């Protein structure tokens, strides 16, 4: 493999408070240790980058011991919660800030789109900024001229190309900035979540362009997004960052699954042991999984989903049946379903009933199941609200399609005829 980015033991430390990088005294102390061949004393202090808790140190590690490699033509997704260290990593890779420790080896020119206005001079026109960015990337004037019309057409700002960019809206800014970064032929393209500023149509164009420069032109893309559908569709690999550390590196689908579970045990399975053990029955277990996968795997909208219920009936099984109510995350009932409607009956002893939700039936979102055990078709003898919850995530979608959530909770497939 042709490695174009190699990051080893990368760390970035910040000082909290009004002084962001350190005082003169600290700088002199660090310099004095360095010329004597000793370790910087301030590297021994500092706390992990956990924004949810109050720390005891004035120093924080925004990144700590980060390491990974990216090969030519790869599209690497970088995912994590707000404040995890994603943007800090991209700024270091883009050479807009320096690391505290560690090394980075990069082969090729980099174009970065980190935030609205990055790399643009507000008093220059859109035209002048295109030439400025091309010159920064080392391109000749002739090369920029050859790409100019294509950039303006992609950005859709032809009418305003000779207007100072400080008068652009944030959406126009991002349109032109992405068009410049993608078309001026850098070997490595770095794109932060800034694309969220653009409208849906332009986001589709951007995703398509990033796929094109990777697959057809062999360029490398680093892409930060909170849109898991876009990550799974566009990226072949992904990096999960949490509290400034690399938590997971692997295939995009697996990385998204790890991130959405928070690195914890699956929430799609609940074994109740003796929590629901009664004279007439014992509810043993409820779990959900995609067909062909375990309950550890994240559920997505394009999978057939299996709901498994294990229940032991101690006597007179013919008198009992159970029902579920599917609720949304506001507690509103969406629909009720039961095995008796399909002609399946309970028996004395252990029962394992499997219910299948068709592909694409449930929309993206969080759902809660309520469990009811019914006696003689009319009396509720047991009920447990919110007995298990589960999330349906966005599946992989064709490039150019809508990457967001459609309205509603279910997407049933009806029979249509063209008469």
- Kindly give the confidence (pLDDT) of every residue in the chain, 419 residues in length, as a single tens digit, with 9 standing for 90 and above: 588 999 999 988 887 654 445 556 666 766 666 676 666 655 554 445 554 455 556 677 888 889 999 988 888 999 888 788 888 898 888 888 888 888 899 998 887 777 655 668 889 999 998 888 888 777 788 888 898 998 899 888 889 999 998 898 878 888 888 888 778 777 888 887 766 666 677 777 777 778 787 888 888 889 888 877 788 888 888 999 988 888 888 888 778 777 776 654 447 888 888 888 988 899 999 999 999 888 888 888 888 999 999 999 998 999 999 999 998 877 788 999 999 888 899 999 999 999 999 988 988 888 889 999 999 988 989 988 888 888 888 777 766 566 666 777 888 878 888 88
H or E element at residue 85: none
Nearest alpha carbon to residue 405 among 357, 359, 365: 365
CB 46 within 8 A of CB 61: yes
Class assignment of domain 70-261?
Answer: alpha beta
Reference 348, options 312, 309, 308, 310; nearest CA is 312
Calculate ∠ Cα 395-400-403, nearest 5°. 40
The domain limits of the chain are: 70-261, 269-393
Give the pLDDT score at 400: 59
**Tokens coding 80:** 């994590």
Structure token digits, residue 146: 């050859």
Q: Each residue of 206-243: pLDDT tens digit? A: 777 787 878 888 888 898 888 777 888 888 889 999 88
Distance CA 134, CA 143 (A): 8
Q: Provide the pLDDT for residue 265.
A: 46
Residue 398, phi then psi, degrees to nearest 5: -65, 145
CA 218-195-97 angle, to 5 degrees, is 75
pLDDT value for 110: 84
* Adjacent-strand bridge partners of 195: none
Q: 269-393 has which CATH code?
A: 2.70.50.60
Interior angle at CA 245, CA 244 and CA 249, nearest 5 = 130
pLDDT of residue 115: 64
Q: Which residue has the tokens 């042991």?
A: 273
């Amino acid at each position: 493999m042709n490695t174009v980015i190699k990051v080893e033991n990368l760390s970035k430390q910040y000082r909290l408070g009004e002084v962001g990088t350190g005082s003169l005294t600290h700088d002199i102390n660090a310099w004095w240790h360095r010329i004597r061949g000793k370790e910087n004393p301030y590297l021994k202090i500092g706390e992990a980058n956990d924004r949810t808790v109050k720390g005891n140190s004035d120093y924080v590690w925004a990144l700590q011991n980060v390491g990974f490699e990216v090969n030519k033509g790869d599209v690497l997704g970088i995912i994590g919660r707000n404040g995890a260290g994603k943007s800090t990593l991209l700024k270091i890779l883009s050479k807009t800030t320096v690391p505290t420790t560690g090394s980075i080896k990069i082969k090729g020119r980099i174009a970065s789109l980190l935030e609205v206005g990055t790399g643009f001079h507000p008093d220059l026109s859109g035209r002048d900024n295109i030439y400025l960015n091309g010159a920064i990337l080392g391109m000749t004037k002739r090369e920029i001229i050859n790409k100019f019309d294509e950039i303006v057409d992609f950005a859709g700002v032809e009418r305003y190309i000779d207007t100072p960019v400080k008068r652009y809206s944030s959406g126009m800014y991002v349109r032109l900035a992405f068009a410049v970064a993608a078309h001026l032929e850098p070997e490595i393209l770095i794109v932060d979540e800034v694309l969220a500023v653009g409208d849906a149509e332009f986001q589709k164009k951007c995703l398509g362009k990033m796929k094109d420069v990777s697959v057809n032109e062999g360029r490398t893309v680093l892409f930060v997004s909170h849109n898991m559908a876009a990550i799974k569709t566009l990226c072949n690999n992904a990096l999960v960052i949490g509290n400034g550390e690399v938590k997971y590196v692997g295939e995009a689908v697996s990385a998204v699954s790890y991130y959405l579970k928070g690195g914890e045990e699956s929430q799609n399975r609940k074994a109740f042991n003796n929590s629901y053990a009664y004279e007439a029955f014992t509810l043993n277990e409820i779990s959900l999984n995609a067909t062909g996968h375990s309950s550890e795997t994240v559920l997505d909208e394009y999978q057939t989903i299996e709901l498994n219920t294990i229940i032991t009936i101690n006597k007179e099984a013919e008198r009992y049946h159970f029902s579920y109510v599917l609720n949304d995350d506001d507690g509103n009932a969406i629909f009720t379903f039961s095995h008796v409607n399909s002609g399946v009956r309970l028996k004395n002893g252990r029962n394992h009933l499997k219910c299948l939700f068709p592909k694409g039936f449930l929309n993206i979102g969080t759902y809660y199941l309520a469990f009811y055990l019914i006696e003689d078709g009319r009396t509720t003898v047991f009920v447990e609200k919110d007995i298990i919850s589960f999330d349906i995530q966005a599946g992989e979608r064709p490039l150019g399609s809508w990457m967001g959530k459609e309205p509603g909770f279910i997407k049933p497939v009806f029979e249509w005829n063209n008469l």
